[in-house]
Amino acid sequence: MSAYVRYDDVDIGWTFPAEPAEFVVTDAVVDKFCTATDDRSGLYDVPRDGGVRRAPPMIAAVYLIDVLKARGGPPGGVHAKQRLAFHHALHVGDLLRTQACVTDKYVKKERRYVVAETETRNQRGEVVATGVITSIWGPDQ
Amino acid sequence: MSAGVSGAIAEGDRLPVLSRRVSQAVINAYAEASGDFNPIHTDPDYASKGPFGRTIAHGMMTLAYASDLMSEWAGEAWLSDSAIDVAFLGPVFAGDDVTVTGVVREIVQEDAGPTTVCELTCQVGDRTVMAGSARCRIGAS
């Protein structure tokens, strides 16, 4: 039996992971992300006045990865489309909880698509980000 | 710190151009930062047998470049009550020079205030690798 989820077994309404994936925004996360993406905006530098450090909204890419791994798709999948809405600014120290739900699946030009919506809340329960990921499912193994 | 765009914003305004050189080292650094070690990005031997014949950059890294452009242009307005929506149209390879451009497509007066919608394009030479739009609460001054 394959360790990966088959396309035919992906059901609309499937929520993953079963419990929200938790992620803590740390200085190290922000440093590595800004370095890797060569961010030059200065928006995410450590504040000189000792205030709370902001984090780039696109660290969504970091906290979503564990959610996508929980989906269990086979290798060879392709990220086709991405929508992200940033409702509240992120800061170092935030505890984020993310869950996703499959909202659609379809075949187009022999490619098998899966659409999932994500929702991320912070430690206060506020929705900080929502997203829609459209993926081309990898070949069944 | 970047304060973002100053002065009035008008439809048709062009955002500053953002350019990034992608190398395998950059891709590897992004994999470290994001936790996405899919071998199609990081393992040349594995990737050589795949559809692209070599490693490709993470789509979310290209998306992060577009987000960086919005950070630099909109400043703090990009951090909350904002959104980005893209389609990944082609691969980015090690050695590619990625250019992200944007133009103000529309300024919408909403209850919460003016919202600027920007059309974003990410290119490698003449090849469009990602396209979409971003919106944030910045606009008529």
* CATH number of residue A116's parent domain: 3.10.129.10
**Structurally, how many domains does chain A consist of?**
1
State the smallest CA–CA distance between residue B4 and chain A in angstroms.
Answer: 9
Q: Which residues contact A124 (CB under 8 A, 6 or more apart)?
A: none
Rounded CA-CA distance B91/B23 in Å is 13
Q: How far is CA A1 from CA A8, A60, B2, B123, in A?
A: 14, 32, 53, 42
Residue A6 domain flag: no
Least CB-CB distance to B61: which of A37, A66, A80? A37
Residue A99 domain flag: yes
Question: Could you read off the pLDDT of B52-75 as tens digits, one per residue?
Answer: 999 999 999 999 999 999 999 999
Residues of B in contact with A89 (CB under 8 A): 76, 79-80
Question: B20 near B98, Cβ under 8 Å?
Answer: yes
Which residue has 């430690």 as its token pair?
A123
Question: A137 near A113, Cβ under 8 Å?
Answer: yes
Residues of A in contact with B2 (CB under 8 A): 41-43
Residue A2 domain flag: no
Which residue has 């909880």 as its token pair?
A97
B38 and chain A: CB distance < 8 Å anywhere?
A: yes
Q: Is A45 helix (H, G, I), strand (E, B) or coil?
A: coil
User: What's the pLDDT at A62?
Assistant: 93
Q: Which residues contact A129 (CB under 8 A, 6 or more apart)?
A: A57, A60, A84, A85, A86, A87, A88, A118, A119, A120
Residue A1 domain flag: no
Residue B2 clears pLDDT 60, i.e. is over it:
no
Among A86, A92, A126, which would you mutate to test the B interface (most chain B Cβ atoms within 10 Å of its Cβ)? A86
Residue A3 domain flag: no
Q: Is B104 helix (H, G, I), strand (E, B) or coil?
A: strand
User: What's the pLDDT at A50?
Assistant: 86
Model's pTM, two decimal places?
0.93
Q: A69 is in which domain, residue-wise?
A: 12-136
Contact residues, chain A to chain B, C-beta under 8 Å: 29, 32-33, 35-43, 45, 54, 56-58, 61-62, 65-66, 75-76, 78-90
Burial B10-19 (b: 16+ CB within 10 A, else e): eeebebeebe
Residue A106 domain flag: yes
Residue B1 clears pLDDT 70, i.e. is over it:
no
* Angle at CA of residue A55, ends A50 and A61, nearest 5°: 160
State the smallest CA–CA distance between residue A80 and chain B in angstroms.
Answer: 5
ipTM of the complex: 0.93
Question: Could you read off the pLDDT of A59-94 as tens digits, one per residue?
Answer: 999 999 989 989 999 888 889 999 999 999 999 999
Rounded CA-CA distance B129/B91 in Å is 6
Residue A7 domain flag: no
What separation, in Å, do the N-terminal and C-terminal C-alpha atoms of chain A show? 9
Counts of helices then strands in chain B (DSSP H, E): 4, 5
Mean pLDDT by 10 residues, chain A (141 residues): 89 97 96 93 91 95 92 88 97 97 97 97 98 93 81
Residue A141 domain flag: no
A95 bridge partner residues: A24
Residue B4 clears pLDDT 80, i.e. is over it:
no
User: What's the pLDDT at B140?
Assistant: 61
Question: Could you read off the pLDDT of B7-32 as tens digits, one per residue?
Answer: 789 999 999 999 999 999 999 999 99
B122 and chain A: CB distance < 8 Å anywhere?
A: no
